[in-house]
Chains A and B, each alone.
Chain A
Amino acid sequence: AQTVTQSQPEMSVQEAETVTLSCTYDTSESDYYLFWYKQPPSRQMILVIRQEAYKQQNATENRFSVNFQKAAKSFSLKISDSQLGDAAMYFCASRPGQGNLIFGKGTKLSVKP
């Protein structure tokens, strides 16, 4: 069975600093995708970044980057130069091929001015 674990219920970061959110997953599939979604208070689920498991290179989207450690089944999200608008719930998710998309419990990120 697929599982996704986010061990940090809450995190806090100072504006302009860098923060890393942790995620581990478990899957028996060899072909899968990993995602980070952001959910601000508006409750809209926004795709932040995606990683294909077959790619060794870590995905990057502007200030957001991941550290994908396939052997350790770890997929952390790094947010650089944190902004007030980054405050939100962040969800890690995994999806095998075209299968189910399973989410972790989320990490609530606060950004202090």
Chain B
Amino acid sequence: DAGVIQSPRHEVTEMGQEVTLRCKPISGHNSLFWYRQTMMRGLELLIYFNNNVPIDDSGMPEDRFSAKMPNASFSTLKIQPSEPRDSAVYFCASSPVSRGTGSAFFGQGTRLTVV
């Protein structure tokens, strides 16, 4: 398996622009997580899906952030409009649903820089 695939790996954008981050989870996994990592705040859970349904989005910082999972093999995290304080590394992770596992596997992350 190719693992969790995130794109792009790096994104530089100007303040006010829309940014879309993409994630393809591991086939057969039906839990998906989006995290944001910064030096100041560490790894923050933004949103968590089970079977394509958002279960907990309490970590989404504000209305500028939105996440979708239209099917089991694709998810997006959108920031509109972007701000310099959104600069961070964004990770996607997926996990199988069957009991006795629980392990989440991470993509390589997207480094977002908003100038």
Q: Give the interface of A toward B (CB within 8 A).
A: 33, 35, 37, 43-47, 50, 52, 91, 95, 97-106
Instruction: Name the contact of B103 in the complex, choosing from A33, A44, A104, A106 (C-beta under 8 A).
Output: A33
Chain B residues with a Cβ closer than 8 Å to the other chain, count: 25
Do residues A43 and B93 form an inter-chain contact, with CB atoms below 8 A?
no
Ranked nearest first, the 10 interchain pairs of A and B with the lowest CB-CB distance are A45-B106, A33-B102, A103-B43, A105-B42, A101-B104, A95-B102, A50-B103, A100-B48, A43-B109, A44-B108
Given contacts A33-B102, A47-B103, A95-B104, 12 further A-B contacts (CB under 8 A): A37-B106, A43-B111, A44-B108, A50-B102, A52-B100, A98-B102, A99-B56, A100-B33, A103-B43, A103-B45, A106-B42, A106-B43
Other-chain contact of A35, B91, B103, B108 (Cβ < 8 Å): B103
**B75 within 8 Å of A (CB atoms):** no
CA distance A33 to B31 in the complex (A): 15
Q: Which chain B residues lie closer than 8 Å to A98 at the CB level?
A: 31, 50, 95, 97, 102
Task: Determine chain B's interface SS by DSSP, over half rule.
Answer: strand
From residue 22 to 62 of chain B, which have CB atoms closer than 8 A to chain A? 31, 33, 35, 42-43, 45, 48, 50, 55-56
Q: Which of B95, B100, B103, B108 has the most CB of A within 10 A?
A: B103
B53 to chain A, nearest CB (A): 12
